[in-house]
Structure 1
């Protein structure tokens, strides 16, 4: 197996799928420009609060609404902001391998530590096409965390398929977002060299207790230090303490698995005094009922944390 497999510890831990701040600017797409200063401060703040790294250009980072120039600039901002103090895993999702490879090459040039890659987006690829896609991205040479999100891509990286994907050199991990925690053990059985990383916040404790090695996370944008504490407690097998921390947070965490997850996490950031800001279309603002529910779920979390 490629030696890169042993580097997985650099892609483990709590890596935050970073939300991306925008500010109003008439000449920018949809009238919203990327606020690189705020984004750099946010990435540095997450690492300073104990997170192991950041993941620019994921779904939470609204990558699909960015221009090519913005997308590369966002990745560079994250890499410069972290400055070697944490891991940077850049999202390289693309409609086809030719786009994903181009983004992976850019990530390598810019100094990323690894890449996160969905199967082909906007096309329900078959088994052979999925394997070819990841083979092409892995040939760039960076450690690859494949991303199973069957809700969005309609392609399910099942444990038996992951066993084949795991045989590709430089593929080191899977971000598992199916929500089925039974898969953690099955993946570890079928692909023992592939590290499983929790992708859905509202089943993170369950996944970690089954042996997941990391958490590629949304709500640590809101609660970074507390999320790291949860990860550490679970990793240490301190179940009672982990449950006591997790249970009042999980109602808020459930928003990470809903359609409005980007808006909800940005709204939650605002509720703890961080800048969330608007989303680019097609995402609009939360409807009043959702905003009220986010506020209620966050109020419970904040009260439990003693903030």
Structure 2
């Protein structure tokens, strides 16, 4: 895959600010997250423009293409060039002939804004598209989930500087390793993670998705398409997301805190150990 011929904007920017704290006014600087318009095109035909944190953009392009079912595998993208243009960055992808033909049949344009993962869809049918069912039954222990959630902040390098960036992480219970991607948009963070897994030839069905955000329907759709069987999040999921996770066979846990979490669907994948008890 090709790399960017010119530098992208920094993902974090130091901005001057005036602080009013405890009755005192002081000059200071604040690290804030950057967001940049990234245009995704296939065969030089525009498909989407997303506002995203300008880092891991090759991962983002591949992950978006996979989670939107534009491609079936990373190898369907023959070339990927990131080009700095006026107003943002263009991600120019060349895809296999069958993918290009399929795109021609379903061509649509959308504009994605921060926090809005379904902006620009042309019909209600697209928003309620069929979600594939995840059939992996491999169990995971509650202790492994708790350890991963506690260690996740240590891997959020951008958020430690700004306190304003979401993370999507993949936990492989076999070695407890975390693969983390960050973005101002939770949907973008997940796309970056899916792309990173594909580029590393890792099987999403063998691990767990950790999210530092709430879980809504589009995140369930993306996770199901990727084949991820377990999702754990820090915030409450929407009712629609719970129903979708249940239908897709995904174990959805949320409200993850230092003392535990709540499971909403497909409890059987999570093992609690001999010392757990039912209240």
TM-score (norm 1): 0.28
Please identify the structure whose Cα radius of gyration is greater: 2
More helix by share: 1
- Normalised by the size of structure 2, how large is the TM-score? 0.30
Higher strand share: 2
